[in-house]
Chain A
């Protein structure tokens, strides 16, 4: 009875095309939660190894370029800000502005990856990579750098995936498929991007500020 009233706004079976705004968001959130668990496993590993080798992790952190890490954090946060605002812009019917903001986010993503590449190649050139001579006989630092490459690497893959999804959103907006009325694709793409941002928020102190 009251159930019927509550469910009146639910999916209409009569319509050919089934659109469920809440459902689409729910699905995306569930996916993000599973991503949290994916990184959760890595955070468990990091915590256990750091508990075993506190000094080595601190020494490992001293080889990090903290300035680059902080700069990259600010880049990602700004990208998150831009893509969040793009939803507001689209909801208010300002498609051009929304597209510009998504474009900005994509650019921040690219900038992030460039900084990342500079950082990684710097470490490798200095000889900080698993199995390198510098790390021979230092199990704790081996672990620190192994986790560093794996966690930032996996995060990097997510950034690339995020750039792809945002590019798709941009194309769909240009073609009028993602509009003021049907913006859930952009909203979900933004949700994904924010998750990438959140993971980085935790990676920053774990690696760059570990000294």
Chain B
């Protein structure tokens, strides 16, 4: 939308100044500019990240002593891990990267002025907020939530918690996610600048393209599953209720048909971010561009076919368990291809250890640990032993926190100068990273050990022999949270008071570095020059 009184050059002002038709807060929450919507997502997802982090902090406090440091009643702990899971998954990590950085940078990186459906984009954010409010409203219903984020039937059908409200909230959030996916796919098909061929697109848009397909095709399955729980609770039909002939395992099938691919909704965009940062800070063209593109699509497809590895101990048929175990091993192949390509890009590169690069390198390490322990869990025999222990929790956090969230934080350090035109304090960024990385490994590596020792997840109390590692993990959580606080204080202060950063502080070669920081409303004041190929550092240095 353009302003009613056109300035001398429409869209030349920075998006931070051009508030459109409305002013103040309304200039943000009713804006259809993809950059403003990106900031809306950034603020709201980070808000929920801090809520989820506080809940996690309380969970770790409870684990300080075998009989529970905080609560003697397990109900409160059940509520904590349920809320931590629901908030971190549905309100933070699924929408965070596509919603904020995807919205902000994908159109710029393909040389477009906005996404294909700007108003639908705004609707997505509003649905996200609505879904969040509905899901959280369920807290004030009939009882504390205690199902875990998975809402497994038949327990979710009879617990006192306000499950219908919660699952309806998740349904609305899913709808928001689908609309974002539709918008991104259409944008990449229709809005690429003239000359920006498919295989000239940077790898972050490519990763978002693969992610969007998963969002469009997998999320509806979660939608229908949540609707069925809703209908079962409200109208007492019998779909998953064994008392009425239903099969609760089919609930798990349908749930994981979405929720396993959802892991790839979280990690694929993060892998795209890594593919942006590594070439920029190694000052070298990415190694194996095509391999990375196709491995993204491969992960999206294969990742949709491995869901039942969450159900190996549930009484799944042996034939199915074997097939799903095999498929799980297969999905490691495209992920490994990516890791090899990133490390090959570093070889003989001129590596600048700027803060974003530290995050990118930690991603490779943490994601490899998370991925390889995933293979351990994918092996049928080992799974029987490790199922529902801390090992699973540690694996998941290595992939999603050490993977997706580290990439997200790194990309915030990478693109913050572009988004706000200001640079953060680098020393503080290094200190924050060091605390975060140390605390993270102390917390979650100890969880691997606890898992192998036999500590089950979701237990409010535990045997005394687990206490030492539990205390170590809790201390790790404190160091990690201290790191997160340093990181975000630094970033937030820099948005308002940081030094002015130039248009291209890192020497990046993708399109977003060709335009002013912060970007003007129209993104490109003149048609962008499309490089001969993506990540053409030789060309950039020659000229």
Contact = CB atoms under 8 A, between A and B. Distances in A.
Interface string A43-56: 01100110011000
B225 A7 contact: no
B158 to A, nearest CB: 15
Contact of B239 (A3, A36, A147, A154): A147
Interface stretch (B213-221, B328-336, B478-486): B213-221
Contact of A37 (B2, B183, B218): B218
Interface in B205-225: 216-221, 223-225
Given A7-B194, A41-B224, A23 B238 contact: no
A52 B344 CA distance: 52
A4 B236 CA distance: 59
B245 A53 contact: yes
Interface string B508-528: 000000000000000000010
A34 B245 contact: no
Given A34-B178, A34-B217, A130 B244 contact: yes
A41 B221 contact: yes
A9 to B, nearest CB: 10
B190 interface: yes
Contacts of A115: none
Interface in B173-187: 178, 181-183, 185-186
B382 interface: no
B254 A41 contact: yes
B221 A40 contact: yes
A13 to B, nearest CB: 6
Contacts, number: 122
A149 B228 CA distance: 11
Nearest to A25: B186
Contacts of B221: 37-38, 40-41
Contacts of B217: 33-34, 37
Contacts of B254: 41, 44-45
A20 to B, nearest CB: 5
A130 B236 CA distance: 7
B190 A143 contact: no
B257 interface: yes
Interface string A116-145: 000000000000001100000011101101
A3 to B, nearest CB: 5
A38 to B, nearest CB: 4
Nearest to A36: B220
Contacts of B238: 130-131, 142-143, 146
A36 B218 CA distance: 11
Range class of the A interface residue count: 35 or more
B118 to A, nearest CB: 9
A138 B245 CA distance: 8
A44 to B, nearest CB: 7
Contact of B116 (A27, A53, A130, A131): A27
Given A20-B116, A31-B182, A33-B217, A150 B237 contact: yes
A11 interface: yes
A10 interface: yes
Nearest to A38: B220
Given A4-B195, A37-B221, A26 B190 contact: yes
A3 B195 contact: yes
Interface string B149-171: 00000000000000000000000
A20 B187 CA distance: 11
Contact of B197 (A3, A49, A140): A3
A140 B244 CA distance: 9
B465 interface: no
B27 interface: no
Contacts of B216: 30, 33-34
Contacts of A3: 194-197
A7 B239 contact: no
Contacts of B235: 130, 149
B239 A146 contact: yes
B257 to A, nearest CB: 7
Contacts of A48: 247, 250
Contacts of A140: 245
A16 interface: yes
A30 B182 contact: yes
B126 interface: no
A139 B190 contact: no
Contacts of B220: 34-38, 40-41
Given A13-B113, A41-B221, A45-B254, A143 B246 contact: yes
Nearest to B218: A37
A8 interface: yes
Given A7-B194, A8-B194, A38-B224, A26 B239 contact: no
B253 to A, nearest CB: 8
A44 B224 CA distance: 11
A181 interface: no
A145 to B, nearest CB: 8
Contacts of A33: 216-217
A35 B227 CA distance: 14
Interface in B401-460: none
B50 to A, nearest CB: 31
B191 A11 contact: yes
A42 interface: yes
B437 to A, nearest CB: 38
A10 B246 CA distance: 52
Given A41-B254, A150-B231, A143 B186 contact: no
Given A30-B186, A48-B250, A41 B257 contact: yes
A138 B243 CA distance: 11
Given A3-B197, A139-B245, A30 B224 contact: no
26 contacts: A3-B194, A3-B197, A10-B190, A10-B191, A16-B2, A23-B116, A23-B189, A27-B182, A30-B181, A30-B182, A34-B182, A37-B217, A37-B221, A38-B224, A40-B220, A44-B253, A45-B250, A45-B254, A49-B245, A52-B247, A131-B236, A131-B244, A146-B239, A146-B244, A150-B228, A150-B231
CB-based closest 9 A-B pairs: A139-B245, A38-B220, A37-B220, A23-B190, A41-B224, A146-B237, A130-B237, A7-B194, A30-B182
Given A10-B194, A26-B189, A34-B220, 10 more contacts: A4-B195, A23-B186, A30-B216, A34-B178, A35-B220, A38-B223, A41-B225, A41-B257, A142-B244, A143-B246
